[in-house]
Structure 1
């Protein structure tokens, strides 16, 4: 038997391992949403361990690798990586408490691509999507919201967290401060040009709300009128709006609008570093995936091959 001394009390780790999960959850330094996500992920791991006849303090590196393989057979790469992140965090914590070695250290996630699960919209599709469907408040709100998602790559969580007071001036430019996933404050911003400000101001003027602490995009439902929109409702608006202009499919979601913004920035001449800053990617390699995909769709190799077969001069690189 081992003991974990927490800030509150001493927790005995039983053979069943139940107490160790509770101790980890109590000490996890993360947002409430992250805590909930990790808790769900670790429940899955706990159930898998139980089926394998193991407790968390009996697992080896091979155990974690086997778990990853089982996950990969049933779930997407992004989901597998999220579950593994929770497992790595858990064993990193155990090691920091000198309870059990970090058997998940060095276990990599699955390779993903920024374009793997979702598609970007074309320029014409994006232009049509952000047009107001009418002059009512809901139409004005959705147009302003979709514009920020399409043109500035805002995530649904960033839309949900935004307040009216987050629209400010920096260096003579209008900006919107955002609180991204995994962050406790609003330390980053996107610059708002007229293309974004016009629909946003039209919506705010029609709404008439002036309180800086009020949500930038408010719910219009009877149960939550004036309250903060949820990420689920934002995703629903995006999906429904795409259906209304005749584009639909499993690969077209609210996150497709973020892909559209980053792709548009690079296609429009922004450097990878500039696109990274706008998208708030913590790792430039994520932005590089977009640049690679954009270069590939120019199909220079394919056109060169066709030119050779057809007897024409191959197109030259720009």
Structure 2
């Protein structure tokens, strides 16, 4: 078997040193993905071809893809390895469809990913304590951070959904004030979360202090370097993490995404149905929402206490 090559009039060659622009562009055009996905595919393919080059492999076989997976697992999270292997499988499937190379990656398994949440959630008492701590900061930054925390923990928002929000997205639906959001994988702001009285009041207080225009971002930076600019997802994650630490909740298991888990858990604990929680968190598959239910059922299992009572 020869080096990877297109069996066509162009004879565009792909060697262990990398993918030619022509072949890469053809593949990207085929998958028709969003920029973020394309960036992931690019990283994955660069890693794969670097692996081939480092090991002197010019005509990869199935066992080489498996070895690539095992090497990735030594220094990457299972979720990262899963994304990379999925990309390699897709790439070789396309190569075979185009008559370029045999699909040597067919049915190669990705690492098993636990369905349990990777981050903890907060109890209602903990949320109240953190909000009280943030409220003690009466600066513009403190008022902004209180509003961000309140919106995220009540609406179960992701950092990207907060980052994309504009002042004009705060609107009315029926007798409710809502925030229209551009959800994960969406191109438009078709979903919304309700802003209960206390949450809306926090947002209005911040907007009144800031006196922003309707077309401006909902939340902006207060730092000298980026004053008035839209907050990035990284900035929002940093804000939440800092506020958690300041309130005494310094744990690697508590992050901005924990607020989303908190919203789902508290809704179920306080009478919300599985379907309502699915709608709140905007899960396309209810099995994703079921993870919250399974976690709660285990937490309610009193087996350890029963055993301890018998022994001690």
- Please give the TM-score of this superposition, normalised by the length of structure 2: 0.85
Distance 1:68 1:303, change over 3 A: same
Specify every segment of 5 or more residues in structure 1 that has no aligned partner in the other structure, as ranges.
311-318
Match of residue 191, structure 1, among 187, 194, 201: 194
Instruction: After superposition, give the CA deviation of every residue in 1:134-169 in whole Å (9 maximum; x if it has no partner).
Output: 222111111111112222211111111111122222
Query: Does residue 14 of the first structure (1) align with residue 14 of the second (2)?
Result: yes
User: Partners of 1:106 and 1:98 in 2: how far apart?
Assistant: 19
* 1:149 corresponding residue in structure 2: 152
Instruction: After superposition, give the CA deviation of every residue in 1:110-155 in whole Å (9 maximum; x if it has no partner).
Output: 3334544311122222112234232221111111111122222111
Q: How does 1:41-56 map onto structure 2 within 5 Å?
A: 41-54=44-57
* 1:173 corresponding residue in structure 2: 176
Instruction: Note the C-alpha offset of 1:281.
Output: 1.9
* 1:313 corresponding residue in structure 2: none
Match of residue 292, structure 1, among 291, 294, 297: 294
Name the count of aligned residue pairs: 303
Judge which range, 58-67 or 222-231, deviates more: 58-67
Distance 1:270 1:96, change over 3 A: farther
User: Partners of 1:135 and 1:50 in 2: how far apart?
Assistant: 57
Instruction: Note the C-alpha offset of 1:42.
Output: 2.5
* 2:88 corresponding residue in structure 1: 87
Q: Which secondary structure state, in structure 2, belongs to the residue aligned with residue 175 of structure 1? A: strand
Distance 1:308 1:103, change over 3 A: farther
* 2:255 corresponding residue in structure 1: 253
Instruction: Note the C-alpha offset of 1:80.
Output: 2.2
Contact 1:174 1:192 in 2 (8 A): yes
Q: How does 1:1-318 map onto structure 2 within 5 Å?
A: 1-2=5-6, 12-16=12-16, 17-19=18-20, 20-25=23-28, 28-54=31-57, 58-95=59-96, 97-100=98-101, 102-113=103-114, 115-131=116-132, 132-211=135-214, 213-306=215-308, 309=311
Instruction: Note the C-alpha offset of 1:21.
Output: 3.1
Instruction: After superposition, give the CA deviation of every residue in 1:194-234 in whole Å (9 maximum; x if it has no partner).
Output: 232121111111111132x3111111222322221111111
Instruction: After superposition, give the CA deviation of every residue in 1:236-284 in whole Å (9 maximum; x if it has no partner).
Output: 1011101100111222211112111111111112122221211122222
Instruction: Note the C-alpha offset of 1:91.
Output: 3.6
Specify every segment of 5 or more residues in structure 2 that has no aligned partner in the other structure, as ranges.
none
Q: Which secondary structure state, in structure 2, belongs to the residue aligned with residue 292 of structure 1? A: helix
Judge which range, 37-46 or 140-149, deviates more: 37-46
Q: Which secondary structure state, in structure 1, belongs to the residue aligned with residue 119 of structure 2? A: coil
Distance 1:178 1:84, change over 3 A: farther
User: Partners of 1:26 and 1:238 in 2: how far apart?
Assistant: 38
User: Partners of 1:109 and 1:306 in 2: how far apart?
Assistant: 40
